[in-house]
Amino acid sequence: MKKYSILGLLLLIIFMGVFQGNAYGSQINDIDNDGVPNSIDHCPHLQEDYDPQFGNNVDGCPADFIPWHDSDFDAIPDHIDNCPAVKETYNKIQDDDGCPDSLSYSGKAIPDTDNDGIADFLDTCPTQSETFNGLDDKDGCPDKSIVTNDTDRDG
């Protein structure tokens, strides 16, 4: 009886291993389809070449990878730039993704008249750019100076 239990356990382990690999393997997030999941891929937009000449080092990058190439000159290297051909806008809204921050819906651009990164339908002041200074930065309006009676400027 013990012999059948061990055999059954081994078959179960093999069976689970085969089907688990297929179930999860097809669902990994891999933009460049090189088999290296984006979560550990050092170059998510460039395919790994699995070059044995360089010790089969699987880092998600091609062996001849030069880490600093910036096609759109936005200071975000192409290998981590989600939009390597389009310049980042640097308006304090997702500035590390490499993409300009214009909103789109179903392929149509959502208007942002003042180009502050806040869509007109959410923007309290759609014709005046937001002042990104930590004070009501999500309302879409420039911030006015607060007048105080602090004549000696000690706060």
Give the pLDDT of residue 148: 58
**Which pLDDT value is given to residue 92?**
74
Element (H, E) at 23: helix 2-25
* In-domain check, residue 19: yes
16 with 60, same domain: the answer is yes
Q: How many structural domains are present in the chain? A: 3
User: Binning pLDDT at 50, 70 and 90, where does residue 66 land?
Assistant: low
Segment among 52-61, 105-114, 119-128 with least mean pLDDT: 105-114
Shared domain for 94 and 113, answered yes or no, is no
**Strands 104-105 and 108-109, sheet pairing:** antiparallel
Q: What is the dihedral of CA 117, 121, 123, 128, to 10 degrees?
A: 80
Based on the domain organization, do 114 and 83 belong to the same domain? no
Rounded Cα distance between 9 and 24, Å, is: 22
- Domain assignment present for 56: yes
* Interval 22-49: pLDDT, tens: 444 445 688 888 888 888 887 787 788 7
Residue 154 counted as domain residue: no
DSSP state of 49: -
Instruction: Identify whether residues 119 and 91 lie together within a single domain.
Output: no
pLDDT interval class at 65 (50, 70, 90): low
Percent residues over pLDDT 70 in the chain: 62
Are both 22 and 32 inside the same structural domain?
Answer: yes
Q: Which residue in 40, 42, 60 sits closest to 50, CA to CA?
A: 60
Residue type, 136: D
Residues 80, 50 within the same domain: no
**Domain extent at residue 88:** 66-101
Backbone angles phi, psi at 147, to 5 degrees: -80, 125
Same domain, 61 and 17: yes
Same domain, 72 and 35: no
Looking at residues 93-112, what average pLDDT do you find?
Answer: 67
Query: Has residue 59 got a pLDDT over 70?
Result: yes
Q: Are 83 and 118 part of one and the same domain?
A: no
The residue written with tokens 């007048």 in the block is 147
